[in-house]
Structure 1
Amino acid sequence: MGLSKETAQKLKYLWEDGHEIEWIETFIKIVNKDTKLVPFILTPEQKKFVEELVKYGIVLKSRQLGISVIIIALSIRQCIVYPNSNCLLVSHDQKSCNAIFDKLKQQFNSLPMWLKPKENANNRQEIKMANGSKISAVCAGNKDVGRGDTLHLVHLSEFAFWKMPEKQLNSITQALAPDGKLIIESTANGLNYFYNLYFQAKNNENSYKSFFFNWIDGSTLFEKDYENSVEIYKAKNNNELLKVEELNDEEKELVNLGATMEQLMWRRLKVASGGLDAFHMEYPSQDIEAFISTGANVFDNKRITEVQRSIKKNNYIPKNNITDLPLELQKFYGRSFFIYQIPQVGQKYYIGCDLSEGVGLDHSVVEVFSQDGEQVAEFYNNKVKPYQMAEIINMIGRYYNKALLNIERASGGNSCIERLRYNYKYLNMLKQKMFDERNKAIWRLGFETNSKSKNIIINDFIELFDTGAIKINSLRLLQEMQTFVINDTGNMGANSGSHDDCVMGTALALFALKDGRHYKW
């Protein structure tokens, strides 16, 4: 019997790109937590993920939010809508691989008989379809993963737990079809390659689009868990519920993020059984708290997380609200340059500059602090050449009441100092008293960084941060502080694969602030 015109139009609509959600909700069923087979109705988090998915995606998530499940559904749709497709689901161990494949088979078998392609093979590793498509589920570390294939949808599950992730990712990426999609998804597992990839994506420093899904917004999947936790909490607390006045500071911040009292009672039971650090890693409320640091960290990770939690996204002043910003700075605003507080009349400002050669590797950074210890502006860019940075520093310095500049004499710093003094006639720059080979005192512009001087300025930074003497407004700076460590040789710097340019720029600014001098100009 032929299809009605209405049915044919609906099928045509569902087969078009952009209607993935409707296709999945129409044809696929899943087993819910009550073990019942039900239509796959996506959660808000799953819908957001599907709607915003691009060629390269990286997902940091709380546990059990159903991201793997929706990726399985997308792979099934890919193989049916586009015959001869090849989808690859890679897990970090055999147990996870088996679980993924079981969910794949369940979803595939739930398809209407008229829609489900005939299977040429269905084993513990792959489903091969008569239309030429296949979906494979394998373990990370298999040397044949992706070899010789052209892949149209790839899911790398719990990527933070992989061994040699960078090497394997490079191999799989080379097999990706021009119109294929690669999705990296994981809970956190410390400061590793996944951490670097995620925050690079968040900062628009690589090809990936970052997604973060916290445990608070995923409440629809845990309603019964919350109900059970309320009863357990009451049984342990004289039949009393948790009250607002009993909340600690972190719980109050979670309420501001949307947490309910039921969720907080569930959280308290989780923390009591597994510890706060483990909860932050598996059930983060904000991305930065998910990454548990080691004892080698220089800065207090707990305080970093508390500060980060207090900062709103896009907390810099909107460009349209700044009327006197120089034209050259306007083109960088919102991408490389951010202002958190405009200059105040009579206020003194201090600027630290850690400069690179502008060849796409390390960043040139300008950090601006007020005399009260508040970070008021930040500039970072890894493509601007030193001679261009001199012009930018000149404009930022003059904009902030002819701020005192402290520029590191390394990499692009020396040439910037020369241009600022002689081309731009910038006179308010920090000087260091040094002694030549004849023990004659000489004054040199800028800051000489060596192991001794670096330890001094970093330890000053640590003290000011720990004691609450400074206010940090940059999320990027906090991310760098989180990965600033002492290595095996006793040297301080960024963890492998991370940056410390903002940390050093801030340390230089705070050194100038602590020195307190301003030269008459």
Structure 2
Amino acid sequence: MARTSTKEKLKVINDNPKLWLQNFVKIQDNNGDAVPFKVNEQQCEFVDSMVKFNIISKARQIGFSTLSLGLCLYYACTNNSTNYLLVSYKQESSSSLFEKLKVMYDSLPHDKYSFPKIKRSNRDEFLMDNGSRIQCSIAGLKDIGRGTTYQYILLSEFAFYQNQEKVLLSAEQALAKNLTSKVVIETTSNGFNHYQEVFMNAYKKKSKYKSFFFPFYSSAYEKQFKHDYNQAEDWYKESNSGRRLCPADLDGDEKILHGKGASLKQLMWRRWKLLDMSIQEFYQEFPSNSMESFITSGFSVFDQSKVLERINATPEPLPKTELNHLAEPLLRYINRGLFIFKLPKRGERYYGGADTASGSGGDSSTITILDSDGEQVLSFYHNKVPVYAFAEIINLLGRFYHYAFFVIERNSYGLPLIERLRKEYDYLNLYKHKVFNQQTGRKQMKLGWQTTEVTKSILVSDFKEHFEVGMVMIHCKETLAQMQIFVESNGKTGNKGGNGNHDDLVLSFAFAVQAIKANIWYV
């Protein structure tokens, strides 16, 4: 068998960024020793799957900024006359990134192989004699990348930028218009902001960006946090007569995490970390799922630990193949706004809530239907359904679920919806409330729920109680996501405003709770 020449080996290495980094670049490990840059499992997944526009949500210190430094160095050394940009949110972080880059370059085996030489190096520029350049910039100082096009742009810790929308727009405009250029947003989360909106749109596949999420129990942490893990295990043993954590010791959250892949050692470390940080702080720094990373704290209306516990256990909706018997107008929405978790049972009564929007692309029109035990069987949300079409959807779904009893808000667009249901579709199983005529003193029955400051407090309080004491079971992930950002501020409740956040599903579920509480059946 013919032996592979050195030239052929070098070609194989130079064509593969993971091999190039492992063979030529050294980084410092936790002990301060210089070791080959061997791409870990999560970094490998990203390199193999990345596209032109990439956004990463992750737990802390998993190594993605280091990976981007290595990739920029690889591309700059193997491609002539190309530009690369590293953006950070403050000078200290920018300097740290650039120093790591220089250490990587210095670690290259210059005595054995030929690499581009440094032509100019200062605190924010790395120019090579092959014409390639790596620059560092700080978000907010100026329009980043103006006058230059870049093959690779890293927006590091993007969630902490003060001007996220402007920076992202500038980065996209500065990206080279070819098939191989890439922009990478990598960050831990920082509450609800433009980053959260961009990531969630990507996560829902409603964006040109491809989302990546890497939880705290990723295999990369086994090596990265080795010393912490061992210390946590020693702590646990000291507190438990020398015993390690075993599956029988796990609580509800831990059982779910263990089932998803978290090792017992990682769960001991989680308990150890929670000794000096709140669960909300842990969720933000070391999330186990993409929704958890955006956890709010302080004035959240719903118990966030219960919301996250439910998020980790929600089932998938029924596939379209099991729903072909639905009415024709509903088929287009199956798993594209309409999510059915359970089909109607013979003899069961169902209770629904609906919140109506204009259908112009802003707020969504939403429906929640529960069975008599409080288990969610259906969720619907869509922001481009006009009122007349939404009335037909409620009629069809309500009749499918045994003429479900509906509580529908009568405010704004709700009133014409109720009138259409009653007059055009003869749908009469609707909530009524009593109103006194202030002139005659007589009482009148009006269809629909009239939302005021007082009645909204009742809505929210009843929903909170039913959820937190286990009287209802939520299956819709989007409803739970909206519950994460549903807050109380200045005596008023609603979503944590801006960035496209909504609370429409929270309201429709709250109306469904009122339907069960009323326990009325007009038809």
TM-score in terms of structure 1 length: 0.89
The verdict on how the C-alpha distance between 1:403 and 1:93 changes in structure 2, with shifts beyond 3 A counting, is same
Match of 1:500 in 2: 503
SS at structure 2 position matched to 1:360: coil
Partner Cα distance (2:264, 2:510) in 1: 41
**Which whole-Å CA distance do the structure 2 matches of 1:476 and 1:396 have between them?**
19
Q: Which residue identity is paired with 2:360?
A: V
Residue by residue over 1:474-521, the C-alpha shift from the partner in whole angstroms, topping out at 9 and shown as x without a partner, is 111111111111223x2211102221111111111211221121221x
Distance 2:359 2:43 in 1: 39
- Aligned residue identity for 1:145: I
2:159 maps to amino acid: A
Q: What is the deviation of 1:437?
A: 6.1
Deviation at 1:365, TM superposition (A): 1.2
Change beyond 3 A, Cα 1:427–1:235 = closer
Q: Contact conserved, 2:280 with 2:297, CA < 8 A, in 1? A: no
Deviation per residue, 1:114-143 (Å, 9 max, x gap): 553232222221212233332222222222
Deviation at 1:344, TM superposition (A): 1.0
**For residues 177-196 of structure 1, what are the structure 2 equivalents within 5 Å?**
177-179=176-178, 180-196=181-197
Separation of aligned partners in 1, 2:127 and 2:373:
66
Q: Residues of 1 paired with 2:489 and 2:49: CA distance?
A: 39
Q: Which residue does the alignment assign to 2:285?
A: 282
AA aligned to 2:128 is: M
2:299 is matched with 296
Give the aligned residue type for 1:382.
Answer: N
Higher mean displacement: 475-484 or 265-274: 265-274
Distance 1:390 1:98, change over 3 A: same
Amino acid at match of 1:340: F
Residue of structure 2 in register with 1:450 after alignment: 452
Corresponding letter in the other structure for 1:257: K
- Within a 5 Å distance, the mapping from 1:447-486 to structure 2 comes to 447-486=449-488
| One-letter amino acid of the counterpart of residue 494, structure 2 | G
Give me the CA root mean square deviation: 2.8
Q: 1:20 to 1:395 in 2, by over 3 A?
A: farther
Q: 1:235 to 1:454 in 2, by over 3 A?
A: closer
Letter of the 2:466 partner, please give it.
L
- What is the rounded CA distance, in whole Å, between the counterparts of 2:353 and 2:7 in structure 1? 65
| 2:70 matched residue in structure 1 | 73
CA contact (8 A) 2:150 2:175 kept: yes
Query: For residues 35 and 437 of structure 1, do their structure 2 counterparts lie closer, same or farther at Cα, with a shift above 3 Å needed?
Result: same
1:349/1:271 CA distance change after superposition, 3 Å = same
What's 1:259 paired with?
262
CA offset digits 1:233-288 (Å, max 9, x no partner): 43555443334443333333322222222222222322224343332222222233
Matched letter for residue 372 of structure 2: Q
Change (3 A) 1:430 1:85: farther
Give the deviation of 1:89 after TM superposition.
Answer: 1.4
Within 1, Cα distance between the matches of 2:20 and 2:330? Answer: 47
Output one character per residue of 1:374-412: Cα deviation in whole Å (capped at 9) or x when no partner: 111111112222222222222222221121222223454
Matching residue within 21, 40, 43 for 1:43 = 40
Report if the CA contact (8 A) 1:43-1:220 is conserved.
no
Give percent identity, aligned residues only: 38
Does residue 230 (structure 1) correspond to residue 227 (structure 2)? The answer is: no
Measured in 1, the distance between the counterparts of 2:333 and 2:10 equals: 47
Q: Does 1:246 align with 2:249?
A: yes
Deviation of 1:153 (Å): 2.0
Partner of 1:335: 336
What is the SS of the residue equivalent to 1:149?
Answer: coil
Question: Does the 8 A contact of 2:143 with 2:170 survive in 1?
Answer: no
Give TM-score scaled by structure 2 length: 0.89
Within 1, Cα distance between the matches of 2:193 and 2:502?
13
Distance 1:383 1:81 in 2: 48
Letter in 2 for 1:203: K
Aligned residue identity for 2:396:
M
**Counterpart amino acid of 1:202?**
Y
Residue in 2 aligned with 1:347?
A: 348
Assess if the C-alpha contact under 8 Å between 1:337 and 1:379 holds in 2: yes
Range with bigger deviation, 508-517 or 438-447: 438-447
User: Between Structure 1 and Structure 2, how many residues are aligned?
Assistant: 512
1:326-475 aligned within 5 A = 326-436=327-437, 438-439=439-440, 440-475=442-477
- 2:145 partner letter: G
Indicate which of 60, 78, 91 corresponds to 1:63: 60
Per-residue deviation, residues 281-332 of structure 1 (Å, max 9, x unmatched): 22222233333423221111122122222325xx212222334233332222
Residues 363, 81 of structure 1: CA spacing in aligned structure 2 closer, same or farther, 3 A cutoff? farther
C-alpha change, 1:436 and 1:182, in structure 2 (3 Å) is farther
Closer/same/farther in 2, CA of residues 388 and 76 from structure 1, 3 Å limit? farther
Q: Are the equivalent residues in 1 in contact too, given 2:363–2:504 (CA < 8 A)?
A: yes
Q: Which residue does 2:81 correspond to in 1? A: 84
Q: CA deviation at 1:88?
A: 1.7
Contact 2:487 2:496 in 1 (8 A): yes
Confirm or deny: 8 A CA contact 1:357 1:411 kept in the other structure: no
Q: Supply the distance in 1 between the matched residues of 2:251 and 2:505 (Cα, whole angstroms).
A: 32
Change (3 A) 1:84 1:505: farther
Equivalent-residue separation in structure 1 for 2:150 and 2:66 (angstroms) = 19
Partner letter of residue 323 of structure 2? I
Report the equivalent of 1:306: 309
**Are residue 519 (structure 1) and residue 493 (structure 2) matched?**
no
Please give the per-residue CA displacement for 1:79-122, whole angstroms capped at 9, x wherever unaligned. Answer: 34543332221222222222211222233334454553232222
Distance 1:412 1:15, change over 3 A: farther
Residue 203 of structure 1: how far off its partner (Å):
2.8
